[in-house]
Amino acid sequence: MLSPSSLHTRFAALTRALLEHQPLWQPRPFAQQPLPWRVQHPKVAAWLLGLDDAALDQLEAGAPLPDTAPGALRGWWAELANLTELPRLHHTPLRATTPQASGIPGRKWQQVLAFAEVLLPRLRGDEQLLDWCAGKGHLGRSLATLCGRPTQLLEWNPALCEVAPQTDLVQTRCLDVLSPEAASLVTSQTALLGLHACGQLSERLLQVGCARRARLIVSAGCCFHKLADGQDAYRPLSQAGLLQPLPLDRGGLRLCSLDEVVSGRARRRDRRRALAYRLGWQALHQLPQPPGMIPRRQLKARFSDFARQRCNRLDLAQPSPARLARAEADGLAAARRLRALELVRFGFRRGLELWILLDRSLFLLEAGRQVALGRFCERALTPRNLLLVAH
């Protein structure tokens, strides 16, 4: 466990490194051309652009850089790897003796168990559990069974509340966690818990937990780019963060979650194809790429059919087969180049995520809490495997 002084030291060192390397991780190849770092590091760009598809897939999924990678690239990644190494939190193993709960997918069940392994040794015996942003209630109902104590589940989506449990121990309440009513449920006897509450919702968990003096706060954040309406960049919670700000807009925050370690083959294929289709469309008409996500049904079609359908919707002239073939080839080549150049940014994903969690840790320290920050499970189970525990 990092001591309070270690949290401050790590935060300062990570801030310095991220600011120094800001030209590497902040510009997005998809949105900014040419990339500033390519002029200073042509060997890095040439090596990346020479990777084949298999090597690109492996590096995007988190494989280590090979020895053939340029020294500059290996140095950047190694520096951030050293700064982001965290221990596994103290836990009591449960997996060997705990049968899987019904209705919970395998990977989710393993995450719930890993969360419980950290939580249970830290309970005193009289806390009431409050599952923040409970979804279908997988975490809350599992914890209620494991420790046999009253558990409340808060979820704003009525459809999810319908399938969430109601038992003698478990009560599901359909509430927006941003509301004052949700905050009023937190008391000094509460263990306030969040497993992958998104963006501002996990921030709110920490703020409410401190303001209402919850006895225990345990939170694993997710989707840091999901900010409050009208907010375009991350706002540090801690005084230390306000004194050492990092320019983290939505693009930088989204980078934290660009992991494919648990993505299935179909999802990875759809992402690749969507990027190629966007860039192929741009090559075809010199128009902006289609905004938002491309529906999966459109990605099942060939590029020529996708482009023709889009031309019909926008009342544009239909291109010839030859133009469509050239645009498809240009889109595929451009997508491959962008994926290769994006790898420079990928080495900074964990550093940006940890910077946010260190800021939150220091916020809790400033509120008078004892804080532990570390891994609660392995990355292969979920890339968002960092957990904050505050007494």
% pLDDT > 70, the chain: 95
Token reading at 226: 């999901």
Best CA proximity match to 337, nearest among 41, 64, 46, 58:
46
- Between 334 and 34, residue with greater pLDDT: 334
In this model, does residue 355 exceed pLDDT 70?
Answer: yes
Calculate mean pLDDT across residues 341-363: 95
- Per-residue confidence (pLDDT) for residue 133, from 0 to 100: 93
Q: Is the peptide bond before 34 cis (omega within 30 degrees of 0)?
A: yes
Question: Looking at residue 233, what DSSP letter applies?
Answer: B
| Residue 52 Cα to chain centre, angstroms | 27
- Between 149 and 20, residue with greater pLDDT: 20
In this model, does residue 193 exceed pLDDT 70?
Answer: yes
Residue 140 three-state SS: helix
In this model, does residue 125 exceed pLDDT 90?
Answer: no
Give the model's confidence band at 95: pLDDT under 50 very low, under 70 low, under 90 confident, else very high: low
- Per-residue confidence (pLDDT) for residue 290, from 0 to 100: 56
In this model, does residue 359 exceed pLDDT 80?
Answer: yes
Q: Is the pTM of this model over 0.85?
A: yes
Least confident of 77-86, 108-117, 151-160, 262-271: 262-271
- The pLDDT tens digits of the residues spanning 13-35 come to 999 999 999 999 998 877 667 88
Token reading at 239: 């005084």
Token reading at 44: 């890095």
Give the model's confidence band at 148: pLDDT under 50 very low, under 70 low, under 90 confident, else very high: confident
Main-chain phi, psi angles of 257, to 5 degrees? -105, 10
Domain ranges (residues) in the chain: 265-345
- Per-residue confidence (pLDDT) for residue 272, from 0 to 100: 87
- Between 356 and 268, residue with greater pLDDT: 356
User: How far, in Å, CA of 320 to CA of 304, rounded?
Assistant: 10
| Residues 219 and 388 sit within 8 Å (Cβ to Cβ) | yes
Least confident of 205-214, 287-296, 337-346: 287-296
% pLDDT > 90, the chain: 62
- The pLDDT tens digits of the residues spanning 275-324 come to 899 889 888 887 666 555 677 788 888 999 999 988 998 888 999 999 99
- Per-residue confidence (pLDDT) for residue 245, from 0 to 100: 83
- Per-residue confidence (pLDDT) for residue 387, from 0 to 100: 96
- Per-residue confidence (pLDDT) for residue 300, from 0 to 100: 85
- Per-residue confidence (pLDDT) for residue 268, from 0 to 100: 79
Residues 6+ apart with CB under 8 A from 39: none
User: How far, in Å, CA of 224 to CA of 151, rounded?
Assistant: 26
User: How far, in Å, CA of 48 to CA of 42, rounded?
Assistant: 10
Sheet of strand 151-155: strand arrangement: 170-174, 151-155, 128-131, 190-198, 216-222, 386-390, 371-375
Q: Which residues pair with 13 in a beta bridge?
A: none
Mean pLDDT over the full length of the chain: 90
- Per-residue confidence (pLDDT) for residue 289, from 0 to 100: 62
User: How far, in Å, CA of 141 to CA of 163, rounded?
Assistant: 12
Calculate mean pLDDT across residues 111-140: 92
